[in-house]
Amino acid sequence: MMRTKFMLLAALVAFLSNGCSLDDDAPNFHFTALEIVDAELPESFDFNRTYEIKVNYIKPDSCTNYEGFDVIKDSLTVRSVVAIGSVRLDVDDCTEEAVEQTASFNFTVIYNEPYKFKFYTGDNSEGEAEYFEVIVPVNEP
């Protein structure tokens, strides 16, 4: 019994002493907004129903990975949608091939007014965010 405890303690000490180095505090990635090129929404919503919204976005290179969506409530029924990617900084051999990919998110209709979705398409020459907009009416209950 004592020998087993000693072996477990020795294994734990060996594992901890060979663990990750804490000397390198530099981040190995950063987040970025990905360009959205298209979105698939229904022609209308029904109140209190959840819909899957499919979005096509551009993954600019092999060092960028899709992480999810940031859906921001701008006002009661206006939503800004941004596809979020993470860019690896510790990889030197990224291929610069842009690839269109599809992801989706669920959206629940909680208001009876039409919804306006603003999908991020990139920044213009002045560095300001640009969007394409889709308005989806809500059917009468």
In the chain, where are the structural domains located?
29-139
Q: Model confidence over 90-112: pLDDT tens digits?
A: 888 888 899 999 999 999 999 99
Q: Model confidence over 41-71: pLDDT tens digits?
A: 999 999 999 999 999 999 999 999 999 999 9
CATH number of 29-139: 2.60.40
Q: Model confidence over 16-41: pLDDT tens digits?
A: 555 555 556 677 889 999 999 999 99
Question: In the 3-class helix/strand/coil scheme, how is 40-94 assigned residue by residue?
Answer: ECCCCEECCCEEEEEEEEEECCCCEEEEEEEEEEEECCEEEEEEEEEEECCCCCC
